[in-house]
Amino acid sequence: MNTRSEEALNASMLAEPQDQLRMQEGEHFELPGVQGRMEKIEFGNGLFLHLAELDVQQDSFFAVQNYMPPGWIGGSLNILGDMQIQPPGMGAFSCSDDEALIMRVDIPGTRYLLPASQLIRHVGVTCTLDSLSRRFSGDIPEGLAAFLGAGVEEVVMLRVGVSTQMRNVATSMFSRQIHGPGRRFQLEALAIQFLYELIEGFCGMEADEQQAIQEWERAAVEALMARIAAEPGRGWLAGQLAEEAGMTEARLNVLFRLLAEKRCAEYIREQRMRRARRLLEEGKLHLKQIAAEVGFSHVSNFSRAYKRWFGENPGRALRRKEPD
């Protein structure tokens, strides 16, 4: 990632900070109010991967210059933390743990806005259209038509619901098990899979949007969503919810994907993890209490689920809220 202040970044590389971050690779840097690591890997086949772990202490922003020639497609996801991405001539888009972005921005000057008091763990993958075409054997999905313009000033950015598989792939990129001589090989495979999951999710949403929703279906699913969000720790099951709503489980999942951009089970899991994160941030409950609040009878199971979702143990998140 090349920023407008690249020379300043290179001049201010730091030693490992006191609150060591989990990310082991990449260049260490400091910006006003932010310290952390960033890594850009070019795989030599039109595919690029960006990984970042940022400890944001004060509200901050930076702007990036394009290193990709016009004609590419990419995606971004925060598996932890929130930020805003603002392309030239457009409003800001949220990049968070529940909403990925698919994009093509040929004009330089995209701004990244980082709210204070958080740890951000970010994944970005970009691929040239020529390389993408080769990967699809020349038959790029029709759902990507908005990204395939021949101009040199294309700016497209759209939201995509985050599937469990997409999240798992992104979280795996920060795993301590990915290291050594095979790390680059493993990360290339994960970057390709992440891009595939992003495209699959986006094109699937485009197809689903062609299916009409009846008013009673919308009302039924919105009521279910409200119940799940209010009590995420209950033993919700998609099949039982579908039966209550008077529809098949397959139809329920289609409607959840249309209205929440994810299947019913994924929505339930997301609500549990989001509630858990809020409780950890409040710092008023012990881990066992938080686990029970979000539907886990064992702390170990909760810890594994939380780590798969956010890429860190809940105990570490809780310690960040403890007084110095």
Per-residue pLDDT tens for 242-271? 999 998 888 888 888 888 878 898 899 889
pLDDT at 10: 35
CA dist 86 and 84 (Å) reads 6
pLDDT tier for residue 173 given thresholds of 50, 70 and 90 = very high
Q: What number is the average pLDDT over the span 162-178?
A: 89
How many other C-beta atoms are found inside a 10 Å radius of the C-beta of residue 273? 22
pLDDT tier for residue 61 given thresholds of 50, 70 and 90 = confident
pLDDT tier for residue 22 given thresholds of 50, 70 and 90 = low
Q: pLDDT at residue 296 above 90?
A: yes
Q: pLDDT at residue 272 above 90?
A: yes
pLDDT at 94: 85
| Start-end of CATH 2.60.120.810 domains in the chain | 2-203
| Start-end of CATH 1.10.10.60 domains in the chain | 215-320
Sole residue written with tokens 């007084």: 323
Q: pLDDT at residue 12 above 60?
A: no
Selected residue with higher pLDDT from 22 and 247: 247
96 DSSP assignment: B
pLDDT at 191: 97
pLDDT at 48: 95
Tell me the CATH number of domain 2-203, given options 2.60.120.430, 2.60.120.810, 3.40.50.920, 3.40.50.150: 2.60.120.810
Burial environment of residue 201 by CB neighbours within 10 A (0 to 12, 13 to 18, 19 or more)? buried
**How is domain 215-320 classified at the CATH fold level?**
Arc Repressor Mutant, subunit A (1.10.10)
- 3-state DSSP call for residue 82? coil
CA dist 180 and 182 (Å) reads 6
Q: What number is the average pLDDT over the span 278-290?
A: 90
How many other C-beta atoms are found inside a 10 Å radius of the C-beta of residue 93? 18
Q: How far is CA 85 from CA 11, 88, 122, 133, 159, in A?
A: 25, 10, 12, 27, 12
pLDDT tier for residue 208 given thresholds of 50, 70 and 90 = low
The amino acid sitting at 166 is M
Question: What's the mean per-residue pLDDT of the chain?
Answer: 84
Helix spans in 48-182 (H)? 129-135, 164-172
pLDDT at 3: 40
pLDDT at 11: 37
Helix axis angle for 164-172 and 183-208, nearest 10°, is: 160
Selected residue with higher pLDDT from 172 and 316: 172
Q: pLDDT at residue 185 above 90?
A: yes
pLDDT at 181: 87
Closest CA to 263 of 306, 228, 304: 228
Q: pLDDT at residue 318 above 50?
A: yes
Provide the Cα torsion 100, 196, 164, 27; round to 10°: -60
Closest CA to 125 of 176, 64, 193: 193
The highest-confidence range among 190-194, 206-210, 234-238, 258-262, by mean pLDDT, is 190-194
Q: What number is the average pLDDT over the span 143-153?
A: 86
pLDDT at 283: 86
pLDDT at 206: 53
pLDDT at 207: 53
Q: What number is the average pLDDT over the span 29-37?
A: 82
Give me the percent of the chain exceeding a pLDDT of 70.
89
Selected residue with higher pLDDT from 286 and 62: 286
